[in-house]
Amino acid sequence: MNDGIRITPIRVVDQDGEMLGEMETHKAKELALEAGLDLVEVSPGVRPPVCRIMDFGKSQYEKQKKLKSGAKQHSVQVKQIRMRAKTGKHDVEVKVRKAREFLAKHDKVKVNVLFRGRENAHHDRGRELLQQFIDMLEGEIVVEQPPRMESGRAMSTILAPVS
C-alpha cells in the first residue's frame, strides 16, 4: 500500500474501476494523493502488478462487517414437546403444529410421552402416540432417535428437519 509499493511500472485502476493503464509508481501515488485516497496493490503476482486507487480503511471496515454478518448463523436447539399417554387427538394435532414451527426454524424436536401411575402399564399406547406423531410429520422430518423408553417413566423420540 502507498509507499510499500516499490516496483515500477504498475498497472493502475482508479476509484471508479476504470483502467488508467501502465504508469510510473510515483505518478500513481500522486493521483491517489490528489483524490485523497490510497494506492493499494491488488494483484502482486502479475507483471506489471495491478494497483487500485481506493479508500483502504473503508474497504477493510466493509470486509470486517461482511465477515461479522456472515458469522451470525442459527444454532440448532432441541425443543421439547411433552404429552401424556392419554393425550387426545386434537391436542396431538396442536402439538404437531408447534413441532412444525420448530422444524421450520431448523431446530430439532424431542417428543416426550410421560407415564404416571397406572399409565406405566401401557407403554404400547405411548409408542403408538409417538408413531402417530411421526406419521403426521412424514416427509418433513428425519427420525434421529426412534421411540424408546428413557428414565423409567418417559418415552421419547428425536426428530430433525429434512435438510
pLDDT averages per 10-residue partition of the chain, 163 residues: 76 83 83 83 82 84 80 79 91 93 92 90 90 90 90 90 83
R_g (Cα) of the chain, nearest Å: 31
What gap in Å lies between CA 130 and CA 147, rounded to an integer?
7
- What's the fold here for domain 78-161? Translation Initiation Factor IF3 (3.30.110)
- Render pLDDT for 2-29 as a digit per residue (tens, 0 to 9): 777 777 788 888 888 788 888 888 888 8
Confirm if 131 and 147 have CB atoms less than 8 A apart.
yes
To which CATH superfamily is domain 2-71 assigned?
A: Translation initiation factor 3 (IF-3), N-terminal domain (3.10.20.80)
Q: Residue 152 corresponds to which cell in the numbers above?
A: 423409567
Domain boundaries defined on the chain: 2-71, 78-161
3-class DSSP state of 141: strand
State yes or no: cis peptide before 146, omega within 30 of 0. no
Length of the chain: 163
